[in-house]
A and B are shown apart, each in its own frame.
Chain A
């Protein structure tokens, strides 16, 4: 590998960073901090002067809350200068699709509110995913289909946890192959082509430095054909003790004399070091991971997002 490569080439695919694509998907196991990193990435994009939106899928408004804003399902809301969020509502996406496909607004409303149609739509396997990814794709278009809506430079997607996340990415291709001709097939092929094009779409995965999360990331990487545009490692502990330090801690702990409180403190430090070393083993299993520091267990706000955004610059 050419180690003299300039920093902007660190992310190998298509030689461009995550935020140079129109669509950035953050995938990974539940509980690893996907929403937080999606918010931080969106914040970074907006600070770089890009018009950015962070999209949640069937979420509960985690992203707006990080910015101290309240969630409004199905509404694009500006939560920071140049940064919007949206919680995609499949029903609303369906209504928009109907309006786009049907010439008469009234007809679209009639069809959209038809019970039969609603039930068929709800029962058709995969349609929900297809509508959701269709809405995400629409957000990423230089010319929005939603009347009067401004385009975004970049759409960051807080995708659902691994299995559901893959179902979302695969929905367009599946629909395109199930329907040989017609609007859905056409739409499916168009979206699938965008998702396949690494100049337009980046696939990043998030893990914490724990075996289960790292294994899920590796499984995801394999399922996506062996390549991710970025591997993000969240909650990484800082190096604190040298080998000599740990030896000294162990010696001190082995002494019978110290008071219980001192022994507890020493044991806590030794355990923290063991955790740190276990984390390094997991870090080593990933491809050039971008490491995000552990920021404590308290409340997260814009301050923490800014710290994370600084660490994400190398991947952006």
Chain B
């Protein structure tokens, strides 16, 4: 197949994945812009700690709920706050106020829930699930954290499901305050050692945290399972974004393998910031006549450099085509300027628009 799948950037949920620094955030915003300009009501969610999407969308700071972007039809944007998303999730699942307070005020939870790698990944998909369930949008586009490992993101719900359904957690919960019990019982070397390793304070806080979420375990497990199912839903399209840089290409190929292994649908491959691929066949004599020998030589040196970059990009594309077979990459050229406003997003959208179903590139303006 020579053209990308129709509606490759469509689907109710569109998740942009890829290495850090390849322009995921920009591509996610451009897809959302493009679809909004085609008449859809679209939410774009970014989790990247740097507020770049906010800049591109003209906000100083994105909020915890989607906000409408002026002048773009029905485009809504939000910056994900992992800590707040987790807090809200815990609060919504707590059986009563006391349980909610116990969990949210736990020191281990409070100090660490926003700071760890996995919480960003999980809260991103949890938010995606909530927005999808609420049904306020035709489409949701998710930008993902700059993780170096696809599994961090794809496995976040599965890891949690595994944990909440696990025998180990049930055992811990059944023991109640296992730290004090263990101290009084000769037959619990594990807990004794745990206490010795971590120090009484940490163990007490960890125990208290698990006790606090005891009443929510089933609800949390159900939520994690639902989120995982959503990642496998046929309406969920993964858009893999890469640049032609070698590390990014390596990562894209590895990421695609993880997607396949997890039965996730890879809908499109976007290669961002491609240098001009055709050779610059300037005539040295003509340049010399026009500019004089010194300046002509400088221009030719610049052309040679560009050709080398183009050749490296061609090699990267060949590797990608070999690895991705029928999935023809969508190419976005190196535009030479940074994308930081809606016009820039529309410009990116015109290249993306060539692959969307029924959306003409001009609609991106």
Q: Which residues of A contact B (CB under 8 A)?
A: 29-32, 35, 58-60, 62, 97-98, 101-102, 107, 111, 114-117, 119-120, 122-126, 128-129, 160-164, 167, 170-171, 174-175, 177-186, 210-213, 215-216, 219, 240-241, 245, 248-249, 252, 255, 258-259, 261-262, 264-266, 268-269, 271-272, 274-275, 278, 296-300
* Ranked 9 nearest A-B pairs via Cβ: A182-B199, A30-B20, A31-B21, A265-B282, A125-B112, A297-B312, A163-B49, A126-B112, A179-B202
Besides A116-B172, A120-B206, A182-B201, 17 more A-B contacts (Cβ < 8 Å) are A30-B19, A31-B19, A111-B190, A125-B108, A164-B146, A178-B107, A183-B198, A183-B199, A184-B197, A184-B198, A185-B199, A215-B50, A241-B298, A248-B291, A262-B283, A272-B302, A297-B245
| A296-B312 contact given A29-B20, A101-B197, CB 8 Å threshold | yes
Q: Which residues of B contact A (CB under 8 A)?
A: 19-22, 49-50, 52, 107-109, 111-113, 115-120, 145-146, 148-149, 152, 159, 163, 166-169, 171-172, 189-190, 193-194, 196-202, 205-206, 243-248, 250-251, 254, 275-276, 280-283, 286-287, 290-291, 295, 298-303, 305-306, 308-309, 312-313, 336-338, 340
Closest chain-A Cβ to B308's Cβ sits at a distance in Å of: 6
User: Are A174 and B115 touching (Cβ within 8 A)?
Assistant: yes
User: Are B168 and A115 touching (Cβ within 8 A)?
Assistant: yes
* Separation of A35 and B248 alpha carbons in the complex (Å): 13
User: Are B295 and A126 touching (Cβ within 8 A)?
Assistant: no
User: Are B172 and A120 touching (Cβ within 8 A)?
Assistant: yes
**Neighbouring B residues of A180 by C-beta, 8 Å:** 199, 201
User: Are A60 and B280 touching (Cβ within 8 A)?
Assistant: no
**Could you say which of A185, A212, A259, A296 contacts B283, with CB atoms under 8 Å apart?**
A259
User: Are B338 and A245 touching (Cβ within 8 A)?
Assistant: no
**Neighbouring A residues of B167 by C-beta, 8 Å:** 115
Shortest Cβ distance from B282 into A: residue: A265
What total of A-B pairs shows CB separation below 8 Å? Answer: 218
User: Are A212 and B295 touching (Cβ within 8 A)?
Assistant: no
**Could you say which of A30, A164, A296 contacts B21, with CB atoms under 8 Å apart?**
A30
User: Are A245 and B298 touching (Cβ within 8 A)?
Assistant: yes
User: Are B198 and A296 touching (Cβ within 8 A)?
Assistant: no
**Neighbouring B residues of A98 by C-beta, 8 Å:** 197
Closest chain-B Cβ to A81's Cβ sits at a distance in Å of: 25
**Neighbouring B residues of A261 by C-beta, 8 Å:** 280-283
**Could you say which of A32, A126, A241 contacts B115, with CB atoms under 8 Å apart?**
A126
User: Are B247 and A62 touching (Cβ within 8 A)?
Assistant: yes
**Neighbouring B residues of A178 by C-beta, 8 Å:** 107-108, 111-112, 201-202, 205
**Neighbouring B residues of A219 by C-beta, 8 Å:** 50
Closest chain-A Cβ to B340's Cβ sits at a distance in Å of: 7
* Separation of A269 and B197 alpha carbons in the complex (Å): 63
**Neighbouring B residues of A31 by C-beta, 8 Å:** 19-22, 243, 245, 247-248
User: Are B20 and A185 touching (Cβ within 8 A)?
Assistant: no
- The 12 sampled A-B contact pairs (Cβ below 8 Å) are A31-B247, A116-B168, A126-B116, A178-B112, A178-B201, A181-B200, A183-B196, A215-B52, A240-B298, A261-B282, A296-B312, A297-B308
Closest chain-A Cβ to B188's Cβ sits at a distance in Å of: 11
User: Are B111 and A212 touching (Cβ within 8 A)?
Assistant: no
**Neighbouring B residues of A212 by C-beta, 8 Å:** 50, 52, 338
User: Are A181 and B201 touching (Cβ within 8 A)?
Assistant: yes
**Could you say which of B146, B205, B286, B338 contacts A30, with CB atoms under 8 Å apart?**
B146
Shortest Cβ distance from A56 into B: residue: B148
User: Are A211 and B112 touching (Cβ within 8 A)?
Assistant: no
* Separation of A296 and B283 alpha carbons in the complex (Å): 24
* Separation of A111 and B282 alpha carbons in the complex (Å): 70
Shortest Cβ distance from B119 into A: residue: A125
User: Are B21 and A298 touching (Cβ within 8 A)?
Assistant: no
* Separation of A54 and B174 alpha carbons in the complex (Å): 45
| A274-B312 contact given A125-B112, A128-B117, A262-B287, CB 8 Å threshold | no
* Separation of A30 and B149 alpha carbons in the complex (Å): 13
**Could you say which of A101, A167, A177, A249 contacts B299, with CB atoms under 8 Å apart?**
A249
| A167-B168 contact given A124-B206, A241-B298, CB 8 Å threshold | no
User: Are B20 and A161 touching (Cβ within 8 A)?
Assistant: yes
**Neighbouring B residues of A97 by C-beta, 8 Å:** 197
**Neighbouring B residues of A167 by C-beta, 8 Å:** 115-117
* Separation of A157 and B223 alpha carbons in the complex (Å): 37
| A123-B163 contact given A114-B190, A298-B308, CB 8 Å threshold | yes
**Most-contacted residue by chain B among A213, A241, A261, A275 (CB, 10 A):** A261
